[in-house]
Amino acid sequence: MTDVAVTDVAVAGGGLVGLAVAWRAARRGLSVTVVDDAPGAGASAAAAGMLAPVTEAGYREEPLLRLGLDSLARWPAFAAELEAAAGTPVGLRTAGTLVVGFDEDDVRELGVLHAFQRELGLAAHRLTPREARRREPALATRVRGGLLVEGDHSVDGRAVHAALLAAARAAGVVLVRDRVAGVVVDGDRATGLRLASGGAVAAGATVLALGARSGDLPGVPPLPVRPVKGQVLRLAGAAGLLEGTVRALVRGRQVYLVPYGGDRLVVGATSEDRGFDARVTAGGVHDLLHDAIDVVPEVTELELTETLARWRPGTPDNAPLLGPSSLPGLVLATGHHRNGVLLTPVTAEVTAELLATGALPAVAAPFTADRFERSPAWS
């Protein structure tokens, strides 16, 4: 095996998380190499860019909620610093998020969600159908009620990725365009990354940021990360259509519409346990269009510019895997499931701190992989 590089930190995966970790680590003075054969072509390409810890809040997921709120609070400074470093915008929108219910059962569900949010002290308030349409006049008249979460925002995920590529390069990060074939283990320690083309990157520390592919990489101890397929659509011609993100429950099914880039809209997302199935299906596209049109009828007239299927890195508790792993030298930054964009700043910053100082910040402590060994329910 020929080493192609020796570096302080080798990062497996050049998606949003991997690049953000690399950028932050490089800014801490570390030499960093990122390995990815197609940076940004994985889940980062599909992400709608919601920064929505409150509307994503689920029962028994309070630790994840707190991490999400922490990362959301970091986003404005992170975005500003990133835009300054890259010289390109990342499309941070702070217009808030409106959740609507399509029929009476859906509105009842919103009531349950709202009660839970209030119990947790989160800012959200109910809107009548008329109030909901005052905020978003494009809503269907059939929509029965809403819930406004002024603190849940969005970014343009692809713009963030492009900016991270530029910022990382400017900070001296080396990008190796090759497929990660495995982690090199020397004795009991990770010492870098093996490349599909044959070489290797020798590193003092190795970061695993391969998203859904993190679960079964050769050399890595088995991790409870599984692919959760999501299909998303991109539409054009939506200038002025929506004020902010619209999420909806439509006959019990979730759909979201996230405006970006002036006249664009992301509509997502299915959630399917189908392994690494990359097919965009007739049923997936149909359901997304059907629900989106039910909620915002003018969607009918928009141009369908893209359909895409990717895999979220799902974990048993829907929370990420951060910090040291059971393999010395291997640091985890994966398992972000539905929250990759939201959790990018906190992941990057705690991981860079760990790489630079050896200490994992307290905010990340609940998310180390050994939590699954402690809890027999996940085994």
Interface residues toward a second copy, by CB under 8 A: 233, 235, 237, 279-286, 289-290, 292-293, 299-305, 307
User: What is the nearest approach in angstroms of a second copy to the Cβ of residue 237?
Assistant: 8
Q: Is the Cβ of residue 123 or residue 278 nearer to a second copy in the bound state? A: 278
Of residues 329, 313, 312, the one with CA closest to residue 321: 313
Of 234 and 338, nearer to a second copy (C-beta) is 234
Query: What residues are paired with 284 via a beta bridge?
Result: none
124 within 8 A of 118, measured Cβ to Cβ: yes
Give whole-number Cα distances, 346 to 39, 163, 189, 211, in Å.
20, 17, 26, 16
Those residues with Cβ within 8 angstroms of residue 325's Cβ, 6 or more apart along the chain or in another chain: 208, 220, 221, 223, 331, 332, 369
User: For a second copy, which is the closer residue by CB, 186 or 303?
Assistant: 303
Q: Which token pair is 172?
A: 């001296």
- Comparing CB distances to a second copy, the nearer of 78 and 256 is 256
* Least CB distance to a second copy at residue 110 (A): 25
Cis peptide, bond prior to residue 269, ω within 30 of zero = yes
Please answer whether residues 150 and 96 qualify as being in contact, where contact means their C-beta atoms are separated by less than 8 angstroms: yes
Interior angle at CA 110, CA 105 and CA 113, nearest 5: 130
Q: What minimum distance in Å lies between the beta carbon of 240 and a second copy?
A: 17
Contact 147, 122 (CB under 8 A): no
Considering the complex, state which of residue 142 and residue 279 has its C-beta at the smaller distance from a second copy.
279
Question: E strands within 24-161?
Answer: 32-35, 50-51, 97-101, 125-127, 145-149, 153-154
Between 100 and 235, whose beta carbon lies closer to a second copy?
235
> Both tokens of residue 376?
């027999």
CB of 236 to a second copy, least distance (A): 8
To a second copy, the closest distance from the beta carbon of 283 in angstroms equals: 3
Q: How far is the CB of 304 from a second copy (least distance, A)?
A: 5
Q: Which two tokens stand for residue 1?
A: 């095996």
